[in-house]
Structure 1
């Protein structure tokens, strides 16, 4: 189905006027007042561009909607270039390519306007799938600026009702900071600095005689931030710094990410970065940019002002010696940090330090082998083999390993280094089980046991007497087996038999071991559209009188399969 053509050619004179009002950022020209707001109310944010998230930078802004069902508008003329529906991630999302070289993205939508909704549903029924990712041609779905596209929701991995909104460079697909395009968002509040971190970066460096990361609380007075209680800092050797900092905007208490940060020492610029644009290909480097260990252990996401040798982020505009500064004996130092948001509200922190006169070489502790990040690395011990491709780490690591007996699994528990260390590239894990249950090899998988004792399915295939998989995590691993089918629990009361007057059929589906792989609903042996809300374990079908005759008797069958092929089926009869 095609949506009627509504695009009209914009006069060249108007295009010239629009492009004459622009701002420059990181070799990009961002037009001002070309795009309208994606909503019809004052924008306040629950999150902003390039915030530090688990394993990625946030690629847009999160507009607070408080409830679902708010109208979402096309921000300029263009065509719908992509529609994506998924149980997690962006949920229901729509992409529009604009003639000025940008793409707008709207995610976590509840539903689309009728024409688009019917197009989506027709595609789902033609392909017997709820989830899909469809690219459209230029002339299929044309839209005008101000057209209502959809209604805001809470689909996918959204943690609450909001509109996730992005602007991308169409050609490169790089996400760009939407706050640089002139949207009217009230923001007179500067970022807030909460804590200051110092890192000794080799065995000959120290902080007040200590060779471990040190944290210092920060306080605000005299229009600037200072270290609380003004502690004496004595630094020696190669040192790095980091800040725990968030931005805040007017009319919301939501913690947002900063826009840029720079550090000078004795008035010399040492490091700086700006969050204007990034590539999805480099987003995982967020695990190097922030302190990964603090994120895992304390859920703190902080910005480092230095970088590891294999951090390939393009956000850095200045990194003298990778942001690492060498402190010398007895020299006095003035260390300044400037942090700002996209509206140029600014905060400053000044720290004074002196070069420590005490020298000491610290022990690095016991480890199995030093793994060079620039090379392939192999590790073989009894019942386990590991293969790491080049550039798996952000810096070379003193690799540790241990093993412990445990009767809960089909193998020993193998502690592969530390879950507090990030891994950039997938590596291969091969673990030999202690025994193989008869004819159950297809049910084996490798479980990762996290710090809370919970297991995560890392997948796996039994081959050549071992279970093999790929992972991007360190931690504890063991071979496990899953022979338990998923659970299907009706939320609809089928004892009534007649479902007349009800809008939907609903189930809770779950699988506690390997997780849900697929789901399918059939009515009268024909596929029907069951939608899956993964975060709430909810599977539901909305009655559709166009495709399901009312006032009839029907037979329902729901099938759910887990990641190793265990299947559960629910059947019942009903009238609607």
Structure 2
């Protein structure tokens, strides 16, 4: 590995490599055996590409490491094109561009190799920041295939020790499915199907005579999945379907996402999609691809086989009539679902149905206004105003509103539509408070109260008699004020005065309402590197002999500021 600070043009070598035969009906042919494994042990996964997550598709694979500190290797020659460090998200992450047009990404790292770690620390001290996002030129940090670049960790929003690994198209920055690049991962286990869902999609449609989503448990026998008890469904009108399905791999119990889904009705292909790649710009459309209500209310993430008119995901290769099928009276139907993983393991479900002979028009629910997803929408009442840009919704929505008084807040609680309906684009909320603590208008913010009663800060600025903010959620909103400073609680025992023999200084820092905006530590008046682990509320300084003299008296100061500028300062003297 070579590290320089010169900026000469990096000459890309022409590389010859073999391409694999096409898997499935892939539109892209991915190189096989070009990339080596990013680890030196057999890979098992706790998550895979395009797995359904809250508000996004998973953009890589999660390699199980069980502990931190496992060696992470460069998968091919290239150069470090980006280093990003954050208290949440990917935590410590490194990006390597390769001559064949791909970029490998490694995230949730504990630390980097010696040379890269010193480069990172030098940048942090030069800029007085722990968090940064730095793009590098192609000859600053050159990497050879098989070089140890970092060590696995649990930084950022990681829920446990693992290595998040991605392959992206360098030019488009689209994440690609790493399982299509020939990595050796044992997988002979087909996807599993748990539940089947049927949706009447207008007031003239029904499933077994009902005009609401119906669910049916699934069982496995004779090498295929069937509805439990093999009922013959009665369907009429425009109906959509969905499956609760996950993939599983050998030697792990981790739930993974499927690769491919197809639906046929009477042997005609109605819908088909696969997860080869996607764009980060379209990832939020996941809230239309899955059943958002089931995700919010029951933490179930299911795949629809139909799509709403404003679902612009590029994964769909076939969507006849958007995957919606019109069932007619006196007709028999055979509905087949085919689910596959990236290693060609397949599962199928067959459902039999007949056109329902009973026709009925079901009454519509009451609503205040029907909002058109193709237009801008506004809503205004005495103490609230809402502005929705075009394409805020995936289809036209029946919008509802109500409010109630609550002495716990500085305004009424405003019930903005239904929290089980997704919002794609940020919209503007303006709420007039009924009272303001004297001299505290700069501490006002809008909060959202979720179904569990938890309070989430949605931000806000007091302007023209209202608190204004943006949100991408429906639900209960109110105005509150944050006048309480963050808390700083030392984990390190400063009563000892002497910290000789200790490796670090640790604090727990929290803010109960608006959230932490910034944090800063200094020793003897000079900025020092405190790392912030947001998920654990942990602020950590590791003693650095290169930058801190041992066997001397030192004065420490910690300063933490929340989102509305409340500030807390902690000071202490120590010997190290």
Fold agreement, TM-score > 0.5: yes
2:18 aligned counterpart, secondary structure: helix
How far apart are 1:229 and its partner, in Å? Answer: 1.1
CA distance in 2, matches of 1:477, 1:102: 44
Q: Equivalent residue for 2:69?
A: 69
Q: Equivalent residue for 1:320?
A: 320
Q: Equivalent residue for 2:39?
A: 39
CA distance in 1, matches of 2:28, 2:96: 20
1:348 has 2:325 as partner: no
How far apart are 1:11 and its partner, in Å? Answer: 7.8
Q: Equivalent residue for 1:52?
A: 52
1:282 aligned counterpart, secondary structure: helix
1:477 has 2:485 as partner: no
Are the equivalent residues in 1 in contact too, given 2:2–2:143 (CA < 8 A)? no
Q: Equivalent residue for 1:530?
A: 530
CA distance in 1, matches of 2:26, 2:494: 60
Q: Equivalent residue for 1:145?
A: 145
CA distance in 1, matches of 2:19, 2:292: 43
Are the equivalent residues in 2 in contact too, given 1:22–1:31 (CA < 8 A)? no
How far apart are 1:567 and its partner, in Å? Answer: 0.4
Q: Equivalent residue for 1:167?
A: 167
Q: Equivalent residue for 1:19?
A: 18
CA distance in 1, matches of 2:313, 2:341: 20
2:125 aligned counterpart, secondary structure: helix
CA distance in 1, matches of 2:223, 2:3: 56
User: Where do 5+ consecutive residues of structure 1 fail to align?
Assistant: none
Q: Equivalent residue for 2:268?
A: 268
Aligned length: 572
Q: Deviation string for 1:378-432 (max 9, x for gaps)?
A: 0001100000000000000000111011000000000000110100000000000
1:334 has 2:334 as partner: yes
Are the equivalent residues in 2 in contact too, given 1:22–1:32 (CA < 8 A)? no
TM-score scaled to structure 2, two decimals?
0.98
Q: Equivalent residue for 1:197?
A: 197
Q: Deviation string for 1:128-161 (max 9, x for gaps)?
A: 0000000000010000000000000000000000
Q: Mapping of 1:554-569 within 5 angstroms?
A: 554-569=554-569
Are the equivalent residues in 2 in contact too, given 1:23–1:32 (CA < 8 A)? no
1:115 aligned counterpart, secondary structure: helix
Pair 1:21–1:256, CA change in 2 (3 A): closer
1:442 aligned counterpart, secondary structure: helix
Pair 1:57–1:102, CA change in 2 (3 A): same
1:364 has 2:355 as partner: no
CA distance in 1, matches of 2:64, 2:21: 27
How far apart are 1:232 and its partner, in Å? Answer: 2.9
CA distance in 1, matches of 2:141, 2:353: 61
Are the equivalent residues in 2 in contact too, given 1:225–1:350 (CA < 8 A)? yes
Q: Equivalent residue for 1:109?
A: 109
Q: Mapping of 1:370-385 within 5 angstroms?
A: 370-385=370-385
RMSD: 1.5
User: Where do 5+ consecutive residues of structure 2 fail to align?
Assistant: none
How far apart are 1:330 and its partner, in Å? Answer: 1.4
TM-score scaled to structure 1, two decimals?
0.98
Q: Deviation string for 1:518-564 (max 9, x for gaps)?
A: 00001001100000000000001000000000111000000001110
CA distance in 2, matches of 1:236, 1:351: 15
1:214 has 2:214 as partner: yes
CA distance in 1, matches of 2:319, 2:19: 33
Q: Equivalent residue for 1:571?
A: 571
How far apart are 1:365 and its partner, in Å? Answer: 1.1
How far apart are 1:9 and its partner, in Å? Answer: 8.7
Pair 1:60–1:238, CA change in 2 (3 A): same
2:347 aligned counterpart, secondary structure: strand
How far apart are 1:251 and its partner, in Å? Answer: 0.4
2:126 aligned counterpart, secondary structure: helix
How far apart are 1:231 and its partner, in Å? Answer: 2.0
Are the equivalent residues in 2 in contact too, given 1:531–1:539 (CA < 8 A)? yes
Q: Mapping of 1:125-140 within 5 angstroms?
A: 125-140=125-140
